[in-house]
Structure 1
Amino acid sequence: MTPADFARALAPLQRRIMLAVSRGVLRAVADAEGIQQLQVTMLAGETRDAVERMQPYGLSAVPLPGAQCVVICVGGNRDHPIAIAVDDPRFRPTDLQPGEVRLYNDQAGVSITLKNDRSILVEGREIILRAEERVRVEAPLLECTGDVTADGISLIHHRHGGVQSGAAQTDEPA
């Protein structure tokens, strides 16, 4: 077999290997089914619909159009592309220290940051903890920089009637 014959014989394999991994730009997302389906533009204007997106178990996100994707085509077959990673450098936070982790939604301005000093920073306009039975805080100190309301009663603005001014004490709460 001559070198030219060998190159000709390997050409289909070489093409499949070269087409196995592509970089693309996200155009649209369909999130109604069990696995997300993306529309992705790859290579020279090659647009693929129904690109399955693999996500880590327990996490789900709907990326925005314009995000960047890494797409694999199993066996180099372009008929069944799978998105294995989606990133959007337009919105990725760039203020983390090495080792820190952030879950974020840049559109809503909310985030959870696992910091190197062992603290967890939760940021948002309103933060809701929902539990079926109770919420328990185990800490030697619980601080609040604003008012605390319990069952509709403000800690700062509540009043006790029938109390004399001066050194008088109120009874224990009923």
Structure 2
Amino acid sequence: MSIERLFMRLRGLFGRGRVTYVDDSGPIQKMQVRANGLVTSDNRFRFADFGFTSYPPYGSDVAYGAIAGDPGNVAVIATNHQQSRPTGLSAGESMLYSQDGKYVYMTASGGIVVEAKGQDVVVNDARNVTWNLSGKLKIVAPGGVEIDTPEITTPGDIIDNSATNLHTMAQMRSIYNSHTHPVPNVQLGGPGTTTSGPNQTE
């Protein structure tokens, strides 16, 4: 092999281009890649890490390599979409994100942030869901909370109308079970001026 031919093969080992089409229907994703204004390659395999998959938007940057130096056997090894890539992360942080701005952000000091962009979050077919917390679980839901379940149990107390109510539901039951009422039009000084407690307690 001549030096010139070897140089051309080495120069063609790696390159960059832009995504013009994606076929995500098979066991391995295939892409159409435009290397420049004259060269567009079809059915280029795109290799991604196990456990992660994505559909890069058209126009995304790609880096590709020629397997065994064969320019006819090109595989995409990395992708990047400039317009939607989040910037400004700190050392050690990572983020899973989509083109429309949704993300799961693992921060260096602020925990984990999930941004749903006003869209639904759905968990399907979970047998059990357990949240082991060292602090408090807070839910802010202006539209209300709906729980479709045959039973709700807790070993602790429940307080409703917490902004004004000082008693737990257990305390209110105890108060109700022992409460009495004054009997009107009864001459004071004799027994029986108040009722007994309720016949049926809660």
Q: TM-score, normalised by structure 1?
A: 0.78
Over aligned residues, Cα RMSD in angstroms?
2.7
How far apart are the structure 1 equivalents of 2:18 and 2:160?
A: 54
Answer 1 or 2: higher relative contact order, Cα 8 Å, separation at least 6.
Answer: 1
Provide the residue aligned with 1:93 in structure 2. Answer: 86
Determine whether 1:47 maps to 2:32.
no
- Is the alpha carbon distance of 1:17 and 1:156 closer, same or farther for their aligned partners in structure 2, counting shifts above 3 Å? farther
Q: Which one of the candidate residues 168, 172, 180 is aligned to 1:169?
A: 172
Q: Residue 30 of structure 1 aligns with which residue?
A: 23
Q: Paired residue for 1:126, among 110, 115, 120? A: 120
How many residue pairs were aligned? 154
Which ranges of structure 1 fall in alignment gaps of 5 or more residues? 1-7, 159-167
Deviations 1:66-89 (A, max 9, x none): 000001012331111100001111
Q: Does 1:149 align with 2:166?
A: no
What is the one-letter code of the residue matched to 2:129? V
Identity between Structure 1 and Structure 2 (%): 24
Distance 1:53 1:13 in 2: 26
Following TM superposition, the consecutive aligned residue runs of length 4 or more in structure 1 with deviations greater than 3 angstroms are: 155-158
C-alpha distance after superposition, 1:31-63 (max 9, x if no partner): 111111100011452100010000110111011
Per-residue Cα deviation, 1:101-133 (whole angstroms, up to 9, x for no partner)? 1101122x3210001126111111222233431
Unaligned runs of at least 5 residues, structure 2: 150-157, 162-170, 175-201
How far 1:170 sits from its partner (Å)?
4.2
2:82 counterpart SS class: coil
